[in-house]
Chain A
Amino acid sequence: MQTLFAKPFRGGIHPTGHKERTEQSQIEKLPTPKRIFLGLQQRNGTLLTPLVKVGDYVGKGQLVAKGASDMAVPLHSPVNGTVVEIRDYVSAHPSGIKIKTLIIKSSEDNSWSENYPPINPDTLSQDEMIQRILDAGIVGLGGAGFPSGVKLRLAKQKGVHTLLINGGECEPYLTCDDRLMQEHASEVVAGIELMVRAIGAKEALVAVEDNKPRSIEALSHAASEIENISVKVVPSLYPMGSERHLIKAVTGKTVAPGELSVALGILVHNVATARAVYHALRFNRPLIERVITVSGGGIEQPKNLVVPIGTPVSDLLTACGGLTMSAQRLVAGGPMMGQVIPSPYTPVDKSIGGLLALNEQEVRDDQSHDCLRCGRCVSACPMGLMPFQMAAHSRVSDYEGAQDYGLNNCLLCGACSYVCPSRIPLVQHFSHARGQINAQRSMAQKSALARKLTDARKQRLDREAAAKQAEKEAKAAARKKKAAEKKAKQAAAKAAAGE
């Protein structure tokens, strides 16, 4: 084993872990919520078409909405129940913008609607496996929410040789992956085996941070019989969970900026995704629930919960004894990269791995002031950027200048904001700059389209005018001809009469 205990990459920070709150709490099942809210629009804007109407009965695991492409992840009902409404409802987006949402009232019955017979995944071909993963609606459960099937298919096409499983969980507070690895190590390993086979990889590496000794032990034990799966211990350093940095820490290779990890023949997936793949392929069960850590100083009883997708946050809070008086902010995900939750009725979606209620001491909000150019952000940046320069350009709306300083390479990991003594909201500056650049790009595209359409319209009008003109001329010519003929006839008649 290579020496993984030296600092594996430049930059990075050691935020206070706070993992002790939930490290020991076994994963519990959340009681079936009364109502389930399934958003019909993905974060990237892709719309899903509901396949059920208001009043329809839906069974647990039934496909209820799907999109037009593989990038639109199908949704399955996590409960048995009735569709009561389809209307605009708040989603787990920090803006609080409402999206079209399918609302299901659940019944008492909690059994699977169909009796899914276990299948032998060995009988499936690689493409069948990937198709099933797509159909099961599995997305990366680490937080990005990218459709796993699409990633696997790309990896298969590019001939990926190494599957890297991310058990880093570098975000403070979160322990859901840690508990999952301990309690379901064999399922995780089985899922990894299946994924390795689906993409035709040679080996799989499971990377776990050294602050999770029990997970390391459980996984090593579960994978001890399998030759091509090995567990790698990586040091605890934020952002170890970033794909590029995990690859660097485990293999020593670096992914060039702008490239994907598959260029190196490596595909990264999360441990929870591996378990979901196992359930999808072995039992044909879609992704309808996930493990979520509910923690933070504003939570009475922090827990790890199995939560049906679409459960409102308020149900999770109730199950954890509610909020304390000091709770100040609700966050979906970890405190570093998580996003605020706009309302307690927000439903959880597939990419949310944590629910934090943070109090004032944890949030540490403070007035920001001018940059001192102290360079702490430069030392902390795991991507080797100069965050203070990017923010300075973004502040004066020079978004191209920010890009010149590497805005496109930024992970938005927040290490810079965490260490900034001036409390400059660097991450917000970068999100804003990126939003502006995207908006400008789409506006430019639209202008170009408008121009094209006007030109096309002008051509069409010209063509129409020309056609009209031609028709007119043809008509006139016909009339003339007719008149000439008539004249000729008359002349002929006259001549005949005259004769």
Chain B
Amino acid sequence: MQMIISVFVFLLLGGSLGCILGWAQKALKVEGDSRVDDLEAMLPGGQCGQCGEAGCRQAAEKMVKGELAPNCCPPGGKALAGSMAAFLGVELSDEGEDIPVRAFINEDECSGCGRCFKACPFDAIVGASRQMHTVMSSVCTGCRLCEKACSQGCLEMVPVLDQINTWQWPKPQVA
């Protein structure tokens, strides 16, 4: 008799828990991965494609899947890579750190075609058509899109040199 009761109790318990789980699976279902949206919000949104993806949304999707490293976004720089790595809970590898670059237009050779201006996703290039253009270095993220667009060969990427106010003490080598 006791055995029948206990079997019955367990069947009941299992059945009801199963029902609850089944209900929860439907009722509490999360559409997609919300982390993709969060990551996309963190990315610069320039759709520059330097990560090798079509756009920021696609990059965010791949990062969530783990197919792309959090430091894939050169315009975002180290700070963004750090915060995205922290968000995803992954380790950030130090390798492959590029020297930051900025676009520079040789204004003597610029014909003012305006192609770079149209290519810049950040509106960092100013100038009207048929006039020479120039780069606002404080805005330029070094995404290189304008470099590909320039037909005159007057636009190049130059490394950003330290100024006395941006120079930092290196980390001590020992201990």
A, B bound? yes
B residues near A441, Cβ cutoff 8 Å: 79
Q: Is A228 an interface residue (CB 8 A)?
A: no
B75, B79, B83, B169: most-surrounded residue (chain A CB, <10 A): B169
CB-CB under 8 A for A422 and B164, given A431-B169, A447-B76: no
What separation, in Å, do the CA atoms of A99 and B128 have in the docked complex?
A: 32
Q: Which B residues between 18 and 50 are near A, CB-CB below 8 angstroms?
A: 43-47
CB-CB under 8 A for A371 and B175, given A446-B77, A451-B45: yes
By the criterion CB–CB under 8 Å, are A455 and B45 in contact? yes
By the criterion CB–CB under 8 Å, are A450 and B164 in contact? no
Contact of A439 among B83, B139, B166 (CB under 8 A): B166
By the criterion CB–CB under 8 Å, are B75 and A395 in contact? no
Return the chain A residue nearest B77 by Cβ.
Answer: A443
Q: How distant is B28 from chain A, measured CB to nearest CB, in Å?
A: 32
By the criterion CB–CB under 8 Å, are B45 and A432 in contact? no
Contact of A45 among B82, B123, B165, B169 (CB under 8 A): B165
By the criterion CB–CB under 8 Å, are A45 and B77 in contact? no
Q: How many residues of B contact A (CB 8 A)?
A: 33
Chain A, 223-257, contact with B by CB distance < 8 Å: what is the 0/1 string?
00000000000000000000000000000000000
Q: How distant is A298 from chain B, measured CB to nearest CB, in Å?
A: 24
By the criterion CB–CB under 8 Å, are B163 and A450 in contact? no
By the criterion CB–CB under 8 Å, are B164 and A41 in contact? yes
By the criterion CB–CB under 8 Å, are A91 and B164 in contact? yes
A residues near B141, Cβ cutoff 8 Å: 446, 450
B166, B170, B171: most-surrounded residue (chain A CB, <10 A): B171
A residues near B169, Cβ cutoff 8 Å: 428, 431-432, 435
By the criterion CB–CB under 8 Å, are A44 and B165 in contact? yes
Q: Which A residues between 449 and 479 are near B, CB-CB below 8 angstroms?
A: 449-451, 453-457
Q: Is B168 an interface residue (CB 8 A)?
A: yes
Chain A, 384-397, contact with B by CB distance < 8 Å: what is the 0/1 string?
00000000001101
What separation, in Å, do the CA atoms of A429 and B169 have in the docked complex?
A: 8
Q: How distant is B27 from chain A, measured CB to nearest CB, in Å?
A: 35
Contact of B139 among A97, A395, A449 (CB under 8 A): A449
By the criterion CB–CB under 8 Å, are B166 and A447 in contact? no
A residues near B165, Cβ cutoff 8 Å: 43-45
By the criterion CB–CB under 8 Å, are A95 and B162 in contact? yes
The interface stretch among A274-282, A321-329, A362-370 is A362-370
What separation, in Å, do the CA atoms of A370 and B172 have in the docked complex?
A: 13
By the criterion CB–CB under 8 Å, are B170 and A454 in contact? no
By the criterion CB–CB under 8 Å, are B82 and A454 in contact? no
Q: Is A93 an interface residue (CB 8 A)?
A: yes
Q: Is A444 an interface residue (CB 8 A)?
A: yes
Q: Which B residues between 132 and 175 are near A, CB-CB below 8 angstroms?
A: 138-139, 141, 162-172, 174-175
By the criterion CB–CB under 8 Å, are A457 and B78 in contact? no
By the criterion CB–CB under 8 Å, are B44 and A454 in contact? yes
What separation, in Å, do the CA atoms of A454 and B40 have in the docked complex?
A: 13
Return the chain A residue nearest B42 by Cβ.
Answer: A447
Return the chain B residue nearest A461 by Cβ.
Answer: B118
A44, A368, A453, A455: most-surrounded residue (chain B CB, <10 A): A453
A424, A440, A446: most-surrounded residue (chain B CB, <10 A): A446
Q: How distant is B115 from chain A, measured CB to nearest CB, in Å?
A: 16
By the criterion CB–CB under 8 Å, are A450 and B174 in contact? no
CB-CB under 8 A for A369 and B164, given A432-B169, A457-B122: no
Q: Which A residues between 262 and 301 are near B, CB-CB below 8 angstroms?
A: none
Q: How distant is B39 from chain A, measured CB to nearest CB, in Å?
A: 13
Q: Is B121 an interface residue (CB 8 A)?
A: yes
CB-CB under 8 A for A97 and B172, given A444-B79, A450-B46, A451-B45: no
Q: Is A157 an interface residue (CB 8 A)?
A: no
Q: How distant is A70 from chain B, measured CB to nearest CB, in Å?
A: 18
Q: How distant is B41 from chain A, measured CB to nearest CB, in Å?
A: 9
Q: Is B80 an interface residue (CB 8 A)?
A: yes
By the criterion CB–CB under 8 Å, are A443 and B80 in contact? yes
What separation, in Å, do the CA atoms of A438 and B138 have in the docked complex?
A: 16
By the criterion CB–CB under 8 Å, are A367 and B44 in contact? no
What separation, in Å, do the CA atoms of A431 and B168 have in the docked complex?
A: 8
CB-CB under 8 A for A450 and B82, given A428-B169, A432-B168: no
B residues near A43, Cβ cutoff 8 Å: 164-165
B residues near A99, Cβ cutoff 8 Å: 164
Q: How distant is A172 from chain B, measured CB to nearest CB, in Å?
A: 22
A residues near B64, Cβ cutoff 8 Å: none
A residues near B83, Cβ cutoff 8 Å: 444
By the criterion CB–CB under 8 Å, are B76 and A429 in contact? no
29 of the cross-chain contacts (CB-CB < 8 Å) are A41-B163, A93-B164, A95-B162, A97-B162, A97-B164, A368-B174, A369-B175, A370-B175, A395-B171, A395-B172, A395-B175, A397-B171, A428-B172, A429-B171, A429-B172, A432-B172, A435-B168, A440-B82, A443-B77, A443-B80, A444-B79, A444-B80, A444-B83, A447-B77, A450-B44, A450-B45, A451-B44, A454-B44, A454-B121
Query: Which 5 A-B pairs rank lowest in CB-CB distance, beginning with the nearest?
Result: A45-B165, A435-B168, A443-B79, A431-B169, A450-B44
